[in-house]
Amino acid sequence: MLEVKEIHTHYGQSHILQGISLTVKPGQVLAVLGRNGVGKTTLVHSLVSFVKPTGGRIHFRGGDITGRPTHQIIRQGLTLVPQGRRVFRSLSVLENLTVPYRCLSPAPNKSWDIGTAFQVFPHLEIRKNQRAGNLSGGEQQMLAMARALVSRPQMVLFDEPSEGLAPMVVKEISKVIKGLADQGLAVLLIEQNFNMALNTAHEVLVMSRGQIVHRSSPQDLAKNNDIKSRYLGM
């Protein structure tokens, strides 16, 4: 689904991503762990061209999407749930979900629409006419996820979806992400919540200073005290 080869990204003179390579298959959850400031958000932003990589290639569903306009990338089925659960606060829940609905891809993944979003997040249906700004943090995260899903993606990038949420909500979000993978979607999950990432992912990467310093199964990382103390402060 996604193949990233040796990408580099700069902000001006700062060389942030320093040769990141990874692949994600349909039905797979790949988690990326790493401390604050190592370049995790820069990685997902590079994938959807919020910032353009200065080197390397990104292939999605067989096509080269490196540096392509973001709206084209989303239309091809790659979507981002950004860090900090950005929703349109002054719009209702339903309006938040209908805005992306109007620009569906021509060959959509038919399995998602607003009805499905409400099945997965029944809470949102109850609150569909409320302003998004009045929802709890957990509900806003669910809305951000639902909004990405109604664009009918083949792959979703989640940037720290568990940040600042209660353990119960984190569990629910993990369950939804696993369910997406079970339906065949590919998922790249950026996390700082170690347990959530390990419980959700099939494979894990650890980033440090713009590079991948470890990749393994979640089970192997759980046992690797050296990597955990050196790169994750555990």
162 binds Mg ion (CB under 5 A): no
Amino acid at 188: L
49 binds ligand ADP (CB under 6 A): no
41 binds ligand ADP (CB under 6 A): yes
Least CB distance from residue 7 to Mg ion, whole Å? 17
Q: Find which of ligand ADP, Mg ion, none residue 34 binds, CB within 5 to 8 Å per kind.
A: ligand ADP
Q: In the 3-class helix/strand/coil scheme, how is the chain assigned residue by residue?
A: CEEEEEEEEEECCEEEEEEEEEEECCCCEEEEECCCCCCHHHHHHHHCCCCCCCEEEEEECCEECCCCCHHHHHHCCEEEECCCCCCCCCCEHHHHHHHHHCCCCCCCCCCCCHHHHHHHCHHHHHCCCCEHHHCCHHHHHHHHHHHHHCCCCCEEEEECCCCCCCHHHHHHHHHHHHHHHHCCCEEEEEECCHHHHHHHCCEEEEEECCEEEEEECHHHHHHCHHHHHHHHCC
Annotate each residue in 1-40 with x if it binds ligand ADP (CB under 6 A) or - if it does not, as one string. ----------x--x-x-----------------x-xxxxx
Of the candidates 42, 76, 154, 162, which one interacts with ligand ADP according to CB under 6 A? Answer: 42
Least CB distance from residue 34 to ligand ADP, whole Å? 6
28 binds Mg ion (CB under 5 A): no
Of the candidates 17, 20, 22, 41, which one interacts with Mg ion according to CB under 5 A? Answer: 41
Least CB distance from residue 232 to ligand ADP, whole Å? 12
- Give the pairing of strands 186-191 and 155-159: parallel
Q: Which of residues 48-107 bind Mg ion (CB under 5 A)?
A: 83
Q: Find which of ligand ADP, Mg ion, none residue 36 binds, CB within 5 to 8 Å per kind.
A: ligand ADP
Least CB distance from residue 50 to ligand ADP, whole Å? 9
Q: Residue 206 half-sphere exposure, CB side, CA atoms within 13 Å?
A: 23
Least CB distance from residue 219 to ligand ADP, whole Å? 24
The residue (of 115 and 233) whose beta carbon lies closer to ligand ADP is: 233
CA distance 231 to 33: 9
82 binds ligand ADP (CB under 6 A): no
Chain contacts with ligand ADP (rule: CB under 6 A): 11, 14, 16, 34, 36-42
